[in-house]
Structure formats: structure tokens, C-alpha cells
Amino acid sequence: MASARTARPRLDGERLRAFQTRLLRWFRKNGRDLPWRRTRDPYRILVSEVMLQQTQVERVQDYYARFLREYPTVRDLAAAHPARVRESWEGLGYYARARNLQAAARAIATRHGGEFPRRLEEVLALPGVGRYTAGAVVSFAYGEAAPILDTNVRRVLTRLFVRRRPAGAAKLDRRLWVLAEAVIPPGRVWEFNQGLMDFGATVCTARKPKCSTCPLRSLCAFYQRANDSRGTPA
């Protein structure tokens, strides 16, 4: 999935292994028990990812369970009346998500005979599914080593590995996607990607990262910079 025009980042092997090991250990102890983590069903994972796009985890949990009681399979959602789907989404807001989700279910019904596609490119071709969501579905459902880059993961990888920001957001974005793929430990994509998201959501947060107790601080470019200048990471 790495861009042909973006070189693979140079990662020191020892540092990379330390990062992977510590993050996986942290996730084993601290990972959140969330309903969509108890399934490998790609449809259920897609539903959770779409709901989480604009809504907090705590709020999504109830809606997720209720929505899946009403539409337990991708075929059920594809066959439902759009007005009914909108009603089921009531309260979550951003209704375009519900429309896109049903459009994706209908595309699965027509293009794939109701079987959820397995390949990243096929998932990415579904209506309303972007690179992050496609990566989350194939890595969480099938264990494919696909990178994910949501806001939390973007922040964690930037702080840890980016010493000098390239000019332009697009260039940084390309670098981060390549990095997000390069750091996945073989055979551990599920825990690793989930761990990265949880770590960004609870430790390496946007406003007050918990650097003083962070298990990754000795590897972190941001922490080192802040310490060198005797400042406090913001």
C-alpha cells in the first residue's frame, strides 16, 4: 500500500522493535474492551468505524448494539428502506454516514453477491469508504497488514518519528502512511493497530500527553526535543 513515489522510512531496527514490543505490552494491559473488538465480522467492523467517524466511543456503544439488532447482516441493511435506516441513525447525527453505509451495503449486495469483499482495493471501492476505514476493516477482520491513520495514530507517529516536518501537509501525510505500514509487526496487525489508536486516545493525547509515565518516551522525538529545550510538550 506504500506509495511508489514515497521512499520507505529509514527506521532503526532496534528502535522499531522496542516500539512494537512496548506498544503491544501496553495494549495488553490497557486496551479498551469495546464491543466491536469482540468480532471479526467485517460488516460489524465497518458499522463501528462509520459510527466512530464523528462520534465519541461512549456514545457509539449503544447505537452500535441497537443498529446491529435491527440490521444484523449486510444483506439486511442493503434491503432496508432508506427512511427506516435514517430513523435508526436518529441521534447520531451526520446522516450522510448512514446513507453511505447503506450505499456500501447495497454495493456489496450487487457487486459481491452479499459477501463482504476481502481485498483492500475492493473495500476501498465501496461508497463512502476511505483509506483509513478500508485499512481498519481488512486489518481488524482479516488480519491483513494494512496501515491505518486516523487522527490519533497520525499524532502518535508524528511525535515519535518525525524530527523535521516536510513542507506541505500532503507530503507529511504520504510519509505517515508509509510509516504506518512500515511499523506493523508481522502477524500482529490486529493488536498493534488497535493499540496505536488506544494509545493516541488515552496517553499521547492532543492537549496533555502523559509523557512522564509514557512507556515510549525514550523513543520519542517529540519528548526528546521538549527535554532538550527544557520545555513541556504541548
Using the rule CB under 6 A, which residue among 28, 165, 210, 225 binds ligand SF4? Answer: 210
Residue 77 or 216 having the CB closest to ligand SF4 = 216
Report in angstroms how near the CB of residue 29 gets to ligand SF4 at its nearest.
16
Q: What CA–CA distance (Å, rounded) separates 96 from 215?
A: 39
Residue 78 or 203 having the CB closest to ligand SF4 = 203
Size of the site for ligand SF4 (CB under 6 A): 14
Q: What CA–CA distance (Å, rounded) separates 40 from 44?
A: 8
- Piece of 33-41, 130-138, 183-191, 214-222 that binds ligand SF4 (CB under 6 A): 214-222
Using the rule CB under 6 A, which residue among 50, 105, 141, 220 binds ligand SF4? Answer: 220
Q: Is 67 exposed, middle or buried (0-12, 13-18, 19+ CB in 10 A)?
A: buried
Using the rule CB under 6 A, which residue among 108, 123, 157, 211 binds ligand SF4? Answer: 211
Backbone angles phi, psi at 85, to 5 degrees: -65, -40
**In this structure, are residues 55 and 93 in contact, taking their beta carbons and an 8 Å threshold?**
yes
106 binds ligand SF4 (CB under 6 A): no
Report in angstroms how near the CB of residue 158 gets to ligand SF4 at its nearest.
9
Instruction: Give the per-residue SS3 of the chain.
Output: CCCCCCCCCCCCHHHHHHHHHHHHHHHHHHCCCCHHHCCCCHHHHHHHHHHHCCCCHHHHHHHHHHHHHHCCCHHHHHHCCHHHHHHHHCCCCCCHHHHHHHHHHHHHHHHCCCCCCCCHHHHHCCCCCCHHHHHHHHHHHHCCCCCCCCHHHHHHHHHHHCCCCCCCHHHHHHHHHHHHHHCCCCCCHHHHHHHHHHHHHHCCCCCCCCHHHCCCHHHCHHHHHHHHCCCCCC
Instruction: List binders of ligand SF4 among 46-75 (CB under 6 A).
Output: none
Report in angstroms how near the CB of residue 178 gets to ligand SF4 at its nearest.
19
Query: Which one from 14, 49, 70, 90 is the annotated catalytic residue?
Result: 49
Residue 56 or 212 having the CB closest to ligand SF4 = 212
Instruction: List binders of ligand SF4 among 169-208 (CB under 6 A).
Output: 203-204
42 binds ligand SF4 (CB under 6 A): no
Residue 53 or 202 having the CB closest to ligand SF4 = 202
Instruction: List binders of ligand SF4 among 114-173 (CB under 6 A).
Output: 159-160
Active site residue 49: yes
Residue 195 or 209 having the CB closest to ligand SF4 = 209
Binding site residues, ligand SF4, CB under 6 A: 159-160, 203-204, 209-211, 214, 216-217, 220, 222-223, 233
The catalytic residue positions are 49
